[in-house]
Structure 1
């Protein structure tokens, strides 16, 4: 190993560790809420529809604020933008634990906005730092997201019991975000390279004219809708089957923990084929099987359901993020496609938790809710067949965007 390569290797390892630490903070704000919904509803008197709005709000914010990430990165730099997002996340986590219903909603909104900005920025940073292995590095980052989600789901009830209430349980996740902020400010690259290369071409208007961009966005939206329905409502649906709130929370947490395996393995598996369609169909099939086993099959099938659902959702999210990298020729286009795919995709995904809240408000049967979820899986599979093809967005010599 040359003397010059050692600093580069250390820089990449440090960047990877920072991405993992930041990624750990981008799901607990979402997954920690679901196991506590019944306690929140009892204490605040919110209706099922209002609770549904509470679960929908952060996902909607992911979509609404995601397009801000490229805009902010261009003006203040990607590193400072991530610093800002972590600061907003901490403020949101602290605010939603204050004894006020409006603060609960405002804090949730801020947390969702921060996650939308940070989550959109990270794929472009990954493409910039490690262009040759960006798909596998995205898998590592996604694994961190899944671990954070599992911790949020599994520890919410124990933290509420230990700290004396659901508000303190929600506030406690601000500590992890504070650690990430300090680490990022202290160790982020001091001589950052601009993400925007090349300078011309690939505007958002051009991107919207490319069917491939829409296909990636719709895949992101449909599979994310399933993920946030699970984050927002799976414990409640399981409790309707007779599980205790603690057991329902742990089942969801275990499912999210299983996502670690497929989040890391799915991009590697996708390299074996000519494109990502077989891998995408495999993981979406696991999602369908896991949901059916958990919501319809005999209770003795709950653990196979947990495993299948976790493998499917970890793999589908990891592959959806990986497609943003694989379907673009450079980091600038990755940032643009990330803003579109996550902005539009999460806006679409927000309709999922809201729809389940409406169905519960109308006292629709669990059989009907299960059917709705399986139809969303089918839609995701259809978009996967299009987005999973081996195609890429690129710029020609004149700076015009095209697909090849």
Structure 2
């Protein structure tokens, strides 16, 4: 009984550690969008330069994600995640400095810390909770999205009322990051060494798998949309006559709806034999939201809700695919590294391109039409990414292996 109680306590502490770590993976990014006009005025930054604020972390994700599985083999996933949380904490603290250098240097460190967390969390969930991938993925996506929503909603009020203005609004999240580091320390102390069989080939990415590329494209396209929304939608709303505070709360609404939607996804995942139809429908909802902003921008409240419905589900699906399409924890880490490397490189183009199209065009119709194209591409990719299993490189021939239920239902897949 004591052994069972100890094991349960250890698992509960691990789950709490994972969830609090997840809570730090978006808040330092989503709080930037509502403050863009203040950063522009105080620091004299252009629209293109402002777009880099949420593009730099994405470039860090793309550059560092392929290295994470190899580093996890060398240092252990728990220790690597702990180190990543320390780097993230340092980045938020540096960005508290009210200067261009502090703003951008802190953002780079934040991106480096989040990059490791993005890759490691799906792998740890697949390893330690293989029968609860959908449920725990939804839980950490919900926490991540919920805290991100709060960050966007309170950014302007904190900037208005706190000493330091926008720098305090961005830097106050260091408190949550410190809590995550402290809560993760027990995992770093008890981290098991990786067995030799896990070390061999664990870091090899499945570049030869068409399914892996579909999962990567789904991750990249939905991230493209998410980071455009959190970076530019407050400015889009402000240009249509909404105040800065109201624009921040509209972004908050988008993320709250997304969180609510993400809570419903695990049930749908258990009910569906595969995820193709679910991913296609959710991507189509995103398309409808972008199209609505093009043809009826005055209904911003409605389109925020629609985008939240589609975006929340697509985020959970993109994260769940990293575990569901993998054979094992090592495969999940390799697929996660590939999907987040190439996917976030694609997503990094989003905020900058969206801002440049506005600079060179008239109003926001052109940039929003681009988002309709991105959502349409995501619909097409959903038909492939929602089914099958990626063979881990080094564990057999590269390619796609149908999962057990799918082999029975569709031998020719």
Find the residue that maps to 2:391 and give its secondary structure: strand
Residue pairs, 1:260-339, within 5 angstroms: 260-294=259-293, 296-297=295-296, 299=298, 301-339=299-337
Selected match of 1:362 from 355, 360, 363: 360
Cα pair 2:153 2:252 within 8 Å, conserved: yes
Q: Which of 90-99 and 40-49 deviates more? A: 90-99
CA distance in 2, matches of 1:72, 1:157: 38
CA distance in 2, matches of 1:35, 1:150: 12
Query: Alpha-carbon deviation of 1:342?
Result: 0.7
Find the residue that maps to 1:26 and give its secondary structure: coil
Unmatched tracts of structure 1, length 5 or more? none
Change (3 A) 1:131 1:153: same
CA distance in 1, matches of 2:266, 2:182: 30
Change (3 A) 1:296 1:174: farther
Aligned residue in 1 for 2:372: 374
CA distance in 1, matches of 2:171, 2:191: 34
CA distance in 2, matches of 1:142, 1:353: 22
TM-score normalised by structure 1 residue count: 0.93
- In the alignment, does 2:143 pair up with 1:137? no
Query: Alpha-carbon deviation of 1:7?
Result: 3.2
TM-score normalised by structure 2 residue count: 0.91
Q: Which of 346-355 and 184-193 deviates more? A: 184-193
CA distance in 1, matches of 2:358, 2:84: 33
Change (3 A) 1:189 1:144: farther
Aligned residue in 2 for 1:175: 175
Change (3 A) 1:178 1:397: closer
Query: Alpha-carbon deviation of 1:401?
Result: 3.9
Query: Alpha-carbon deviation of 1:270?
Result: 2.5
Selected match of 2:400 from 372, 379, 403: 403
Cα pair 2:84 2:116 within 8 Å, conserved: yes
Q: Which of 331-340 and 182-191 deviates more? A: 182-191
Residue pairs, 1:4-403, within 5 angstroms: 4-164=3-163, 165-186=165-186, 190-192=190-192, 194=194, 198-201=198-201, 204=204, 207-294=206-293, 296-297=295-296, 299=298, 301-389=299-387, 391-394=388-391, 399-403=396-400
The CA deviation string for residues 254-306 of structure 1, in whole angstroms up to 9 with x for no partner, is 1111111222322331232221011111211222223333454263x333322
CA distance in 2, matches of 1:100, 1:234: 24
The CA deviation string for residues 208-252 of structure 1, in whole angstroms up to 9 with x for no partner, is 111111111111001100000011111011111111010000000
Find the residue that maps to 2:194 and give its secondary structure: coil
CA distance in 1, matches of 2:80, 2:342: 20
CA distance in 2, matches of 1:339, 1:378: 25
Query: Alpha-carbon deviation of 1:359?
Result: 1.1
Cα pair 1:26 1:145 within 8 Å, conserved: yes
Cα pair 1:35 1:245 within 8 Å, conserved: yes
Query: Alpha-carbon deviation of 1:310?
Result: 1.1
Query: Alpha-carbon deviation of 1:104?
Result: 1.2
CA distance in 2, matches of 1:127, 1:193: 17
Change (3 A) 1:320 1:395: closer
User: C-alpha root-mean-square deviation of aligned residues, in Å?
Assistant: 2.1
Query: Alpha-carbon deviation of 1:52?
Result: 1.5
CA distance in 2, matches of 1:198, 1:369: 45
Find the residue that maps to 2:116 and give its secondary structure: helix
CA distance in 1, matches of 2:394, 2:98: 58
CA distance in 1, matches of 2:39, 2:392: 50
